[in-house]
Amino acid sequence: MHRRALLISLAAVLAHQTAHAGAWDHGSFDNDGALDWLGAFLARPSAASVEAALNAALRTGPLESPEGESAMAAAEVVAAALGKPAQNLPKELAAWLQRADRAHYQKLKKLAGRAVNAVVSGSQSELRELWREDQKTFPLWQANGFDLLARLGEPKN
């Protein structure tokens, strides 16, 4: 009986880790997908790449987790460019902001708000569903999204 209980406990731990694979905390940059997108953006920064990531979150149909992670990171770029950065802003992004032409990002504010709402509150968001599986961390992840919306000056759905 002890062995069965141990196997059940191990399966529960592995299931939790699988749901959050690639994520180590609830922040917008606390996952592999967001950091991969950010690395590609910083290698060739452009408002067009930010806009593409935001638009990907607004396509019809299911919003897959990687697109959701990228959209959250792109929205963080917009917020930071508007002078409202996240507290845990990656240092590479902070360095880029020092030399960036931020004027192009103002026009992306509303698009960023819509994308964040699609990720955090959308019924088709896979990322939202993955986070909802853990009732302890889901409210923290959701609050991070709502904070991002507030920094963008956009309403939450």
Q: What is the pLDDT of residues 16-66, one digit of tens each?
A: 443 455 788 999 999 999 999 999 999 999 999 999 999 999 999 999 999
Residues 2-23: what's their mean pLDDT?
A: 45
State the pTM of this model. Answer: 0.86
Task: Give percent of the chain above pLDDT 90.
Answer: 83
Query: Residue 66 has which token pair?
Result: 């990687």
Q: Which of 45, 56, 52 is nearest to 80 (CA)?
A: 45
Confidence of residue 95 (pLDDT cuts 50, 70, 90): very high
77: its two tokens: 């770029």
- pLDDT score at 74: 99
Least Cα distance to 94 among 105, 109, 80 occurs for 80
Region 63-81: mean pLDDT is 98
